[in-house]
Structure 1
Amino acid sequence: MMRTRFFSASHLSAAIAAMLVSYGSAAVIIYQAALTFGSTPEQINSWFTSLGIGCGILTFYLSLRYKAPIMMAWCTPGAALMIGMQHIPLSDAIGAFLFAGIIMLIVSFTGLFNRLVNLIPKTLACAMLAGILINFGSKTFVAMQSQTLLVGLMLLTYLLSKIRFKRYSLLFMLIVGFITAYFEGLFHIEEIKWSNPQLVWLSPSFDIQAMISVGIPLFITSLVTQNMPAITILRMHGYTDVPEQKVITSSAIATLLLAPFGAFKINLAAISSAITMGADVDPDPKQRYKANLCLAFLYLLAGMMGGVIVSLFNALPNELLMALAGIAIFGTLLSNLIESWKDEPTREASLITLLTSASGMTLLGIGSAFWGLIFGLFTYHLCYYIERQKVA
């Protein structure tokens, strides 16, 4: 009788692919978000270390506990949302991260998860995120002004590689960017150095404006773009026995424990999680969780290399980082724009949400993402009321 190996090459390859997709588009965005709040290199190291440890431990425990491919990750759209939120001290941002984690814990623990999702039309949540991402993605072309060759080649590589190598387009773009930056004398390799992983305590402060401007949009983005789609993907692949309340509660607790070290939001991974759920990973659905056990160790390894990642970004030109982060969210931006206009009766509300969120306005000290959702919800219910009056 043949003995089956506990891990196979397909498990490992799926884990590597999921890690590359997750990290490849997110690392530079997280780095930019940390800089927005004035984080030092040591503190950014702590951001990456805490995220790697948190996602690694939770992915391993939940996948092994429920024998299902459960992938935890950071909220990349939430990190993108925070870029550009100027004049918010790091301590206030940490307090907002904790606030977002507390709301998620309450929503999950009380069973309000599905009810709250239904209260916020998905079209408006997508419009809010799209509004933030439009400004973020447009920085690609701002960077092109000063580094035309570098950014132009990166964009061209991304577009051409999507013809036949769609899954690896970001990787090819990154390679071309590195090579071009090196030959242009913009890549300072000598600055890349080993730095021990660090967990730096970042004392939180609780400012009401920061909690509303950062915490609430971060919570909504995590809820609508990460946790809810991830649960749906698990169900679609037949993993109906995974207790969503316990899984989401676990992620909220992990956020509360690690936010003071820079782990701004830990949640279920959405799109990238599907990489470890297909039949090519393992013919037996009950064995696919093993790919996530491999992924957990890769997460922990990445966490241990947090300092190297920070020094790598410091060695690269800012224009490359802007282009990489901007182009990486093209797909997310496009899908959210499409989703924003999908429901015809809510299109005007979606438009107002998008324009307000993209404006960068600050009202009563509260940022545009929150007001975009508020104005959008008001318009949504007003239009609904008008339509009912017409029918009556």
Structure 2
Amino acid sequence: MPAPMRLSPREMIETLVSFDTTSHLSNLALVEFVENYLASHGVAAQRVTNEDGTKANLFATLGPADAAGGVVLSGHTDVVPVEGQDWSSDPFTVVQREGRLFGRGTSDMKSFIAVALAFVPEFLKDGPQIPVHLALSYDEEVGCLGVRPMIDGIIRTMPRPQVVIVGEPSSMKVVNAHKSIQSWSTTVTGLESHSSATDKGVNAVMYAAELIGFLSQMAEEMRRRGDASGRFRPPYTTVNVGPIRGGTALNIIPKTCSFLWEYRALPDLDPDEIINRFNAHVDENVLPRMRDVHPGARIETKVRAQAPGLAPEEGSAGETLVLKLAQCNAAEAVSYGTEAGLFQLADIPTVVCGPGDIAQAHKPDEFVELSQIAECERFMRRLADYVSGRPI
């Protein structure tokens, strides 16, 4: 067995950030490093690879694998791109300035993973009575894709954990509710014609604009409905339209136009309401007018990404434990999405708690405060006490 590798949380953050795991790239180099690190402590890890073998989840158990009531520390290894962003230093080299660590993934969310890994020796030191499970996923940033097969494996092969802690940046506050997210790609196909003969063509751009207007109306309706819980900011389900592409020249009626859109729904909203209403509007009010001119006209909407919301499980043993570990009096709600809802769908109590501020995620010069790292270390030290049977 190799000599145990020991890295401080700071050193582990620097190491993990140095791996460019942007979602369109492989994360296998990082996975191999973590496998070797765990092996040096006598811990075997299991890979769950994607179809072409270019990416992998990693799952490992510290302590008695067959014991119920374990704690899962979950985090995604992928990061968003840095292209086109104005960084003041190399995004994949951690730089410290003014009490902050700068680098891609320092906030979202390699610092949580790093602190958890740095505490492996502490978790193992006294022979944990309760297992700590490490669950590292791929492709969270492009739709929470990788974690799904790993969750399937967890529920098939191991006793039900007491709680999953998803370490997304929450400023080390405990989060028990967040919105769902669904994103879509809509393509409108009409008929080209000379721009002087608008009666002979089907203008895909104008019909796409009409559909975007319908989405704007639903966005306003959702704003008026508001948030009965009073916990979310903004306090309503949001609808957003992103990139739009269509047309070739001003004097040609556009044949195609496509746009990307999403909605982030409150946990109590039927997650299919908005897409069902959108599709009904297309079928009943838009397509018939297009096909009056050109029977081959069509509108296709395809899903890009879906992740369920997280609903509160107030008073659960898992949430109570994490509140105690984080020394928080109450849980909060956030509007960003995470993998937590997928664990919850598998009937595993789940909360979000991790170092860093979501406001820094995905930005140039992303950073995490050193004070947040210190707070996460205190959290992990209490967890080590808990799984070893010591009072916390």
TM-score (norm 1): 0.25
Greater strand share, 1 or 2? Answer: 2
* Greater fraction of residues in helix: 1
Q: Quick one: higher RCO (CA 8 Å, sep 6+), 1 or 2?
A: 1
TM-score (norm 2): 0.25
